Amino acid sequence: MADNQHPNPNQWWFHRRLMAYMSIMGLYLVAGSMLLGSIQAPMVPLAQTLCYVFSANLLYYYGGNAVEYLKGKS
């Protein structure tokens, strides 16, 4: 695309928002499992990796929001 725009920005932001909500839900699930002690010692590296992935998804979404906001101000 020459103008570097998504063909349907509303759909694009909707999917990004869903991804962010699922990441928050995943972080709550992993944190709850850790607090309740249902994650066994061999599963801790997997839980840590999931937390990193979910956090990266949130940074991607909220970073995109910040960029869009700053683009609109200038």
SS (H, E, C) 5-74: CCCCHHHHHHHHHHHHHHHHHHHHHHHHHHHHCCCCHHHHHHHHHHHHHHHHHHHHHHHHHHHHHHHHHC
Report pLDDT for 71: 81
Check whether 26 has a pLDDT greater than 90.
Answer: yes
d(CA 60, CA 11) in angstroms, rounded, equals 16
Mean pLDDT of 39-49: 91
Residue 74 binned pLDDT confidence (cut-offs 50, 70, 90): confident
Residue 36 binned pLDDT confidence (cut-offs 50, 70, 90): very high
pTM: predicted TM-score of the whole model, two decimal places: 0.73
